Amino acid sequence: MKEHYELIILGGGPAGLSAGLYAARARLDHVLIEKGAPGGQVLLTDWVDNYPGFPEGITGFDLIENMTKHAKRFDLNIELACVTKVDLDQNDKKILHLDSGEKVSCDALIICTGASANTLNVPGEQEMRGKGVSYCGTCDAPFYRNMHVAVVGGGNTAIQEAEYLTKFASKVTVIHRRDELRATKILQEVAFANEKIDFIWDATVTSIEGGTGVERINLLKRDGSTSTLDVEGVFVLIGVTPNADELPLEKLKADKWGFIPTDIEANTCVPGVLAAGDICSKSVRQIVNAAGEGAVAVLTAEAYIQSSK
């Protein structure tokens, strides 16, 4: 890598690759820095059925491969490196520190580091991921038509997605470790009134079992008793964690969970620093809006770079 670029895109998921495509087409002096394989969480998604342009659906791997090929056709510059610290206190320059000891600076920075779904960390969860274990009801609900599924969680997202799942599943069982939900009262009222939703209280999932797909989950109640629930899908909806270890969250005025607020043009509170995708403070985290935000971020960054000259 050079010592300085007009634009650095940090992260190579859908937001970063979309930003990279627009940056390359705009012929900006740019680099996309990714610490591993491009794709982010999408690489862990078995099948994507709701991305425009693929009426038959597409695997997460193939979608990312197509995005990468598309951007590289316009000479997207991708570098594999691990950023250990982002320094925004160097006048108008943004300094990224690499684990190699090198530093690279830019005029404009787009943060696309994403977020990771919180997991149960129980036996069978990783093995069944994409085979009945999901972390997004909105994404995967249509795959569970007329099936019995479980939702693990008790917050707003879990209850909203449980309600959404009833449009497809024959039955939705919400499993919550407490004796009452954390979701807002209006969401609770809607869920309690839905005949297709039932609840198991004071319980945690201890393991997920199945062959080619999920067949059952094992539960531990607070009183020490155990039980088994036969289900064909498990939606783990216990929150997401931003990938933000290297970011100056206080400087970026991150929310209490560590996500970065932006305006409609992807600007953060720091001039010349933008954010796109799941790292942003928002309620909807889908591949399609991450890609759109990446495009908006580059257009905004390009205008910033031109005005700063």
| Cβ-contact 238, 152 below 8 angstroms | yes
Distance between CA atoms of residues 37 and 12, nearest Å: 8
Tell me, yes or no, if the two domains 4-117+240-308 and 133-236 fold the same way.
Answer: yes
* Cα Rg of the chain (Å, integer): 21
Helix pair angle (287-308, 14-25), 10° resolution: 40
CATH 3.50.50.60 for domain 133-236:
yes
| Cβ-contact 172, 149 below 8 angstroms | yes
Residue ranges per structural domain of the chain: 4-117+240-308, 133-236
CATH topology assigned to domain 4-117+240-308? FAD/NAD(P)-binding domain (3.50.50)
What is the pLDDT tens value at each position of the chain, 309 positions in all?
899 999 999 999 999 999 999 999 999 999 999 998 888 888 877 788 889 999 999 998 999 999 999 999 999 999 999 999 999 975 667 999 999 999 999 999 999 999 999 999 999 999 999 899 999 998 899 999 999 999 999 999 899 999 999 999 999 999 999 999 999 999 999 999 999 999 999 999 999 999 999 999 999 999 999 999 999 999 999 999 999 999 999 999 999 999 999 999 999 999 999 999 999 999 888 999 999 999 999 999 999 999 987
Distance between CA atoms of residues 197 and 46, nearest Å: 26
**Which structure tokens are listed for 97?**
């520190």
Distance between CA atoms of residues 61 and 253, nearest Å: 34
For residue 232, the model assigns a pLDDT of 98
Q: Tokens 């890598």 sit at which residue?
A: 1
| Cβ-contact 61, 38 below 8 angstroms | no
**Which structure tokens are listed for 103?**
């530093």
For residue 91, the model assigns a pLDDT of 63
Catalogue the active-site residues: 136, 139-140
Amino acid at 189: E
DSSP E strands in 76-182: the ranges are 78-80, 83-90, 93-98, 103-111, 115-117, 133-134, 148-152, 171-175
As a dihedral over the C-alpha atoms of residue 101, residue 106, residue 111, residue 112, rounded to 10 degrees, the angle is: -80
